Amino acid sequence: MFTNALACFRLVAFLEGCSYLLFAITMPLKYKLGIPQPNYVIGMIHGLLFVSYVILLIKVAVEYKWTFKKTALAFIAAWIPFGTFIANKKLYPATVA
């Protein structure tokens, strides 16, 4: 399905970023309206995607011989809203030949 580990990583990075942003919808549902179920579902999905992101990040960093700085920036991007989208434009394409 994927041509290489980087393509898979980019997809997971996009999905992880989307799941992170979905908390902007589910948190008010949980705390303002008392509807916690969507937050539980998105939280589980986001957790799985985050773990997948970190595992794939390590795989891609080793395979493409990323520097520590580039790897650290990609890791930090997962903690910042819109970070994975920005990293997708600035960090990941540089390794595609």
Distances (CA, A) of 69 to 2, 10, 72, 80: 26, 18, 5, 17
Question: Does position 2 have pLDDT exceeding 80, yes or no?
Answer: no
Q: Where are the domains of the chain?
A: 5-92
CA-only gyration radius of the chain, Å:
15
Farthest-apart Cα atoms in the chain, separation: 49
Q: How confident is the model at residue 97 (pLDDT cuts 50, 70, 90)?
A: very low
Give the separation between CA 57 and CA 36, rounded to whole angstroms. 31
28-83 confidence digits (pLDDT tens): 999 999 999 999 999 999 999 999 999 999 999 999 999 999 999 999 999 998 88
- What pTM value is reported for the model? 0.86
d(CA 97, CA 95): 6
